[in-house]
Each structure stands twice: as C-alpha cells, then as structure tokens.
Chains A and B, each alone.
Chain A
C-alpha cells in the first residue's frame, strides 16, 4: 500500500502539465491585458502630444503676431528701431520662451500622469496574474490532496477488507460496521454533492449522452466494465461523479448502489 505522500506526488506529477497549461493560459490573458494597457498609453501619449502641438503652434503664431504688432505700434509712435522697440522685441522673445516652457511643463505633467496610470494598470494586472496563478496552484494542489486522500483511504479500506475476510468476524463486523458508517456518511455527502451539481434528470441524461472518456478510451456510456467514464467538463471540474465512480471502483459501493444514488437524485 502506497503512502499518502506518494499518491500526492504521483497525482501532482500527473497534473503538472495541466497545471502549467492552465497557468500559461491565465498568463496569456494578463499579458494581453498588459499589451492593451501599453497600447492605450502610447495612443494617449500621442493624443496628448497632438493636443499640445496646437498650443505650441499658437504660441509661435502669437509670437509672429506680436512681432508685427510691436513693429506697427512702434512705428505709429514714431519709435521705429528705437531702444524701446528692441526691448519689446526681446520681451516678445522671452514671452514666447516662457509660453513654450509652460506648455512643456503642462505636457510633461500630462505625460507623467499617463505613465503613472500605466504603471498602476500594469501593477494591478501583474497582481491579478499572480493571484490567478496562485489560485490555479491551489486548485491543483487541492485536487491532488483530495485524490491522494481518497486513494489512500481506498487502499486502507481494501487492506481492511482483506484483513477482515482473512482474520475473523470481529474484524469484519468492525470493518463493515465502520465501513457502513463511513459509507452512510459519504453517501449523504455524495447526495448533496450530486444534487448541487446535477440539477435534474435531464441534465444527467444530457451528460450520459455526451462523449465520455477514460484515458484514451472513448465511449458514450458512463460506466463500462465497472469503470466510470467522464465527460471533458467533468475532468476539468473534478466532478462529483468522479468521486462516486471512485467509490464504486473501490468497492465501497456497488454499481447498483450507484444507480440507486442516481435514482435518488430523481
């Protein structure tokens, strides 16, 4: 009889590829989200630049307008080429420089705000990615843990039955008594689990009608040669039926009993 850890590691190894595939898929989604965020940033940065382009253009035009206005006003005051004229021209140049500087600052602020927003987005996406990855790990770890527990229990039960048939009544009584009790408790769980999973007979029939597989063997029947076949979704969702099948497989319940449980569901 293998230990729980052995089962656990075995199942982990068996599901490692699925786990990595699930992680890759999840990461791809987040990478896409990051790419979208970056693209949005680039676009918004360009839009911002364009918006400030107009301001730059207006500043330059204002400088040109002022230059001519100063020249005309000075000429109208008889001050053409005077010291005041030079001062005003220099002042216009400075004013233009100041205006450009102000626009530069505003534009930089806007760009910084965009960069900040991008960093926030990317951080959020990265956090979500890490969370999703952890959730996948949890899910697979739980599955491995549950399955290992079940298998180990099955091993224990089988060993117990073997001991009971070869060892005497007391042992059988203990075993069957304990077993029955255990089964009863499990059955109640199974029932509620099945009820929550399979809402109606129709649903169950629907499941039955779909293609099922076990390893590479594909069938339209759920149980063949005492083995439970599962739909793809069930594989994915670690469905209750799987557990039910495992119980039947393990001999904890008969296949007829399993049918009974189905009937109970009706």
Chain B
C-alpha cells in the first residue's frame, strides 16, 4: 500500500555576489535591488568588498583658538553663529607639495567684539601649516558669518581682500612671516589714456584734455596713469624754432577732497635722454577770493612740489591742471616753457589719484575663482572672477580682473548675471565653461578673445582694451535649478556635482542651454535623509577616491561617481532607473564643528574645531584629521593628557529584506553564508530580520583569522544557521565595533508553501 507523501521541497540558494549597490532609502525594504542596502553606516564598497570607511587620524598638534572661563575670556564658545568657516577653492603649491587653503574667522575676545581674527592655514593630508593671523575690524552690527572677506592667490602671493576695512593684505606663502597691507601705491595704476598733450594757456576755451582712452580705471585702485607729450606742436609757430608754449597739462580728473594726502607723480624724458621725476602731495588749503566786492574763502585741493628738481622745474597741480614752474609762487609763478627742440613723443607719464567710487563692487564680494585663457586648464585662469557681493543691489554681479593681475579690476569688467534678485552663490568649471551658480539659476560663460584695431581705439569705438578684447559671453544653463550651497560644488568625472538645501544633489550633463534634460538629480537613493539633514552654508564637499563626498557636520554622504548610473545617467529613459545604479554610502565622523575639508594630492583631511571642557575652562582647538583607508580605527586627541586615543569605527549594515521572488510563500532559512574578509578579529553581531525589519534573533561571529593581517585579500566563509521556519521575508543586519569587510552573501532556503 502506498501512502501519499509530501514532496520534499528543493533547497534553493539566493546569492548576492557583492553588496555594491549602496543605500536605498527611496524604495520599500523588499523592493530595493539585491545588492543594495536598507541601511548602512561607515561602510562603502571599495576594492571588491563592502568595507569600513577610511579612518580619521588626527594630525600634528592642536592650535588653541579660544579659552574661556573664569580666568580667561568670557567669550562664548565658538560655533557657526559667531565663526565664519571660509570656503575657498584655492590650492597653493609650496615646496613641491600642494596645499588646500582653508580659513576661519572668529572673535577671540568679547572685550573687543569688533576685532575678528582670521586664521589661515594650508592643509595637505597629514600636514597643516598655520599662517600668521590677520586681525580685522568688522562693522559692529555685522555678524561674524556675514563679514566680508575673500582670498585670492597668484604666484607666491596670497591676498586677503578685507571688505570690512576695504584693505588688501598680502603674504608671501613661501616665507609667510607677516601679512602686509598692500599700499595704495602698490595697487595697480592702469594706463588710462595716451596721446595727451599740453594745452599751453589756461585761458584756452576748450578745457577738455585730448587723447585716447585705452584702459579702464581700477575699481580698487587709487591712482591712474596718463601719458603725455610735453610739447604740443599745434601751439608753436613751427617756422620759428624759438617759438614756445607753457608747460601746462590737463589732468583727466579734478583733484577733490578724496585726493587729499595722495600723490601726483610725474616722470618725463627730456630731449637729451635724461629722465626727470617730480611728485607732490595733494593738500587741502583755503584761499580768499574777491568777487563783486565780496571776499569769500574757498577750499582748494592743490599739490605743490616744494623744491625745484634737477631739471630746474617743480610741479603744481590744482583742479584739473598740472603745471611746471621755474620760479615764483602764487601770482608771481613763472610757468616753464618748451620749444620745438624739446619734442619727444609720449615722453611724460603722470600718475594721479582717482579713488573709484565703486570699490564696493569688489570689496563686498565673498569668493573668487581664476578662469580664462587657453592654456590655463581647468584649475587655472588668467582672470580672477569675483562674486557673492553682499550688497542687496549687487547680488547678481560677477567681476573679473585684468590679465593675471588680481590687483586690477577694470571698471568695465563685470556683468550682472540673470535675475538681479537672486545672488550668485558659487563658481564651477566644466570643460571650457565657467559655470555661474545662482540661488535659482545656472549660467555659463566662456572665454572669448578678439583683437582690436588701432583705428577702432583711435576713433574710441573701443575705449577699454581690457574689456573689449577679452569678454565672457553668457548663456543660460538652467532657469530654475540653482545652487544655494556653494561649498558642495565639485567636478566629478568631468561633470559638475552640487547639492541644494532641498536635499537634492545634481549633476550637469550637457552644456546645451536649449536642452531641458541637462541637469539630473543623482541623490534619489538618499534624498529622504538629505532632506532632513542640516545642509547649510557650512556644508562642504570633496572629490576623493573617485567618490563625491558631501559633509554636513560629522555626517558624510558618499557617492561613487564611477558607477554606470552616474556615468550614463543621460542615457536612461527614466532618471529613476539611473538613480538606483548610483551607489551612496553614509559615514559618521566624530566631528561636530567641521569648518572645511581639504582634498589635495589624493588625501582628504577634515578640518574642525574640537572642544575640551574642564571644570573651569572651555578650550577650543583647531584640529585636522586625515583619512587613512588602511586603518579601521579613528583616533582623537585627549587634551587632558595630550595623547592620541584610538577608537574603533562603528559599522553596520542592513541588507534587503528578501522575499526570494515568491513573497506569498513561507520559507525555511537553513543557512546563511557570508564571505568575510579579515577585520582584525573584531566580533560582528549578526541579526536576522523579518518583513517588518524587526530583529528576530541575533548571532555573533568573529573573523579572527589572521588577526594581524588587515589585507583584504584574505577571505573566509562563515556559515550561519538561523534555522528559521515559516518566514516570508528575510534580511540580515550586521554590526561591528571595528573594521568589517563583507564580500558576498548566500542564503539557502526552502519554500514550504502556504500563501500568507
């Protein structure tokens, strides 16, 4: 007799060869891809396995920023409301190494709350060079994060544009002894006009100077140059060699109250080849004049040289007239004369004061970037671009300097980009484009160069060679997507990536302004988390290990930009499909006040403010930690003992909750096979989860094989036997206080039937 018997269900295996898919917080816990994770912390897929993030190792010695308490300043601790974390893209080459420039500005003493200390430092991996401090005085009502300053570097010289006091500080980065203030005389005085000549008699009806404008005034300058010919043939009887005219010349601008204490300098070449110099300082004097029987006192701005020069002349300038005198004073003054025999063309250069009224356009900017030129590459440039002007009516302005000269901003070298109401927030460079990010728009400019003919300049069709021959035509990239977090802009695999405070991270895939699909969101997998994260002006980013790193305080979101999803995102018909193929990872560092990150020479350093609190005092230090991929322990400084303490990195992951393709049937889970690489022997806590992501049971495993061998080439298969019966869905959670490296997962199960 045969008895009916149940068929023995076949043993099945679900194998996930790698866990490279990253976190997916968008889709349901059972809907994500097999190689994606529902949760992950301090793990990323690198070199063929899911492994612990690089360790952060504190470097060098700490720099005390603030000490407060009963014995010290009662200044409250530094935080992001009284400290400005300055974001720059400046890298400086020094002694064969490249350094990222980073800076913070803070108020160290509340006794002088207007005194802001700007601490500048250069970081390369495990090296931090602290440059001398600069103290600036801020406007009392302005908060520290709102103070106006930005950096620029050219050659060996680092410039700090101090918008609060409208000063420029400079430092030789090779020999950084002291910051010096760039004097008015050392700010570039452009040669505004050439071909000017004498007018001879002051009674000449036509009071205007004649000549040709070739360059523009310097927005940040105090002086300009003009080139004259001392002899004007038109004023002479050329048939008579003894015919002469007075040495009187029009200045381009009248001397006024702004010119007081500035100097007029004259250099001219005589017909015998000798070069003569004269200079005089503008003074304010009062003079009595009688008109209609009444006597008035008028204020006169006059520069008068005291002594005769080697040429037997001295200069006097008043209003817009410069004269050479041979003797006498006041009404007895004798004006020097020149004859035809003295003629040397274009032989006199006059440097005269002109304080530009629009210096705010430059000094109120907050960031800079070099761009332009065909030989400068993606990181260089021939013009220093500025933006981020804090004046409400200049928010959309972008300015640029003259060729390779960060101390000359031609007054015509600027453009208002897009909507005047939205501020320019950042710059980026992609291929040959200079991308201008605004709060809600993106524009791009290109370098364009054409030459000007002398005839065009002569007819003054071209009046500013700097602005007319090199220009930057603009085009819209996006009229609706912008960037409000300038610290997040990175160029990743030739495409710009940036974040917005709405929790989206974008990439620019095409520079075609007419394409509606030129910007894609790449952050769909972590968007729900980013939306709730504190993404603010202090959010920073880095391009490290072929990943885009987004730092929000101690939380870090890392995107693998070598993934198919990122690289071919424009080829997918649905951006959602591409998004699941862009792996994102999530790290946590023990850093509260991250001020900056420095990624140079393939090293990544975190720069932050570290606290030490004792019973009496609170001390705050400037610290930096470098990431070390070979280590699985973070370390930190113990300020009490001044020793370095190691700390294991806490790692965890949650796999997909698998339904094995038949969610309606129960399954018996017999065995879980984990491919684990050596982690130094730290125990791994394994939990099993059901469809509710609830922990069903725990297991502990330890991969103690080759405890000293941290090489990822060793691998060990660990078999776990959960012996779970009748569950419809099954997932794993792994946690470890230390390094962890997972190669693969395989689950042996049987379908037992019985749809739920």
Contacts and interface: CB of A to CB of B under 8 A. Distances in A.
A58 interface: yes
A55 to B, nearest CB: 10
B373 A68 contact: no
A75 B382 contact: yes
Interface string B371-415: 001111000001000000000000000000001100000000000
Given A46-B234, A65-B454, A60 B465 contact: no
A42 B194 contact: no
B457 A65 contact: yes
A68 B239 contact: no
Interface in B332-382: 345-346, 373-376, 382
B183 interface: no
Interface stretch (A76-84, A168-176, A215-223, A230-238): A76-84
B466 interface: yes
Interface string A67-91: 0110110011111100000000000
A239 interface: no
Contacts of A80: 382, 404
Nearest to A39: B239
B233 interface: yes
Interface string B456-468: 0110000001100
Which of B453, B454, B455, B465 has its CB near the most chain A CB atoms (within 10 A)? B454
A182 B233 CA distance: 75
B373 A76 contact: yes
Nearest to A103: B345
A61 B212 contact: yes
A42 B243 CA distance: 12
B688 to A, nearest CB: 62
Contact of A76 (B345, B449, B454, B465): B449
Contacts of A64: 191, 194, 214, 457, 465
Contact of A71 (B233, B375, B403): B403
Interface in A10-62: 38, 41-42, 45-46, 49-50, 53-54, 56-58, 60-62
A64 B451 CA distance: 12
A80 B214 CA distance: 21
A50 B234 CA distance: 7
A46 B232 CA distance: 11
A50 B458 CA distance: 15
Contacts of B345: 56, 60, 100
A53 B233 contact: yes
B470 A42 contact: no
Contact of B403 (A53, A62, A72, A100): A72
Contacts of B238: 42, 45-46, 49, 111
A60 B195 contact: yes
A78 B375 contact: yes
A21 B364 CA distance: 87
A219 B291 CA distance: 68
Interface string B428-463: 000000000000000000000101111101100000
A61 B382 contact: no
A259 B659 CA distance: 161
B434 to A, nearest CB: 16
A77 B375 contact: yes
A175 to B, nearest CB: 71
Nearest to A57: B195
B285 interface: no
Contacts of A68: 403, 465-466, 469
Nearest to B343: A104
A89 to B, nearest CB: 13
A61 B239 contact: no
B237 interface: yes
A167 B416 CA distance: 130
A56 B469 CA distance: 23
Contacts of B191: 64
A65 B451 contact: yes
Nearest to A62: B454
Interface residues of A, number: 29
Contact of B239 (A45, A77, A78): A45
Contacts of B454: 58, 61-62, 65
A57 B213 CA distance: 12
Contacts of A41: 239
A57 B296 CA distance: 43
A72 B453 CA distance: 15
A78 B373 CA distance: 9
A229 B233 CA distance: 63
A61 B195 contact: yes
A105 to B, nearest CB: 14
A96 B344 CA distance: 13
B457 A76 contact: no
A107 to B, nearest CB: 10
Contact of A65 (B227, B403, B453): B453
Nearest to A52: B233
Interface in B462-483: 465-466, 469-470
Contacts of A45: 238-239
Nearest to A97: B345
B239 A76 contact: no
A77 B375 CA distance: 6
A42 B237 contact: yes
Nearest to B455: A58
B382 A57 contact: no
Nearest to A42: B239
Interface in B309-346: 345-346
Given A45-B238, A75-B403, A69 B469 contact: yes
B234 A65 contact: no
A71 B455 CA distance: 20
A43 B465 CA distance: 36
Contacts of B403: 68, 71-72, 75
A101 to B, nearest CB: 11
Interface in B525-568: none
A71 B453 CA distance: 16
B37 to A, nearest CB: 48
Contact of A75 (B233, B346, B404, B458): B404
Nearest to B233: A49
A111 B241 CA distance: 14
A50 B238 CA distance: 12
Nearest to B462: A65
Nearest to A111: B238
B234 A57 contact: no
A51 to B, nearest CB: 11
B469 A61 contact: no
A53 B465 CA distance: 22
A72 B449 contact: yes
Contacts of A79: 375
Contacts of A60: 194-195, 212, 227, 345-346
Contact of A61 (B233, B374, B458): B458
B457 A72 contact: no
A37 B454 CA distance: 37
Interface string B664-699: 000000000000000000000000000000000000
Contacts of B375: 75-79
Given A60-B227, A72-B382, A75-B403, 12 more contacts: A45-B238, A46-B234, A53-B234, A57-B458, A61-B214, A64-B194, A64-B214, A65-B452, A68-B465, A76-B375, A77-B374, A100-B345
Q: Sort A-B residue pairs by CB-CB distance and give the 8 closest, nearest first.
A: A78-B375, A62-B454, A76-B374, A61-B454, A57-B195, A64-B214, A49-B233, A45-B238
17 contacts: A57-B195, A58-B455, A61-B194, A61-B214, A61-B457, A64-B457, A65-B214, A65-B451, A65-B453, A65-B457, A68-B403, A69-B451, A72-B403, A72-B470, A76-B374, A77-B375, A111-B238
Interface of B: 191, 194-195, 212, 214, 227, 233-234, 237-239, 345-346, 373-376, 382, 403-404, 449, 451-455, 457-458, 465-466, 469-470
Interface of A: 38, 41-42, 45-46, 49-50, 53-54, 56-58, 60-62, 64-65, 68-69, 71-72, 75-80, 100, 111
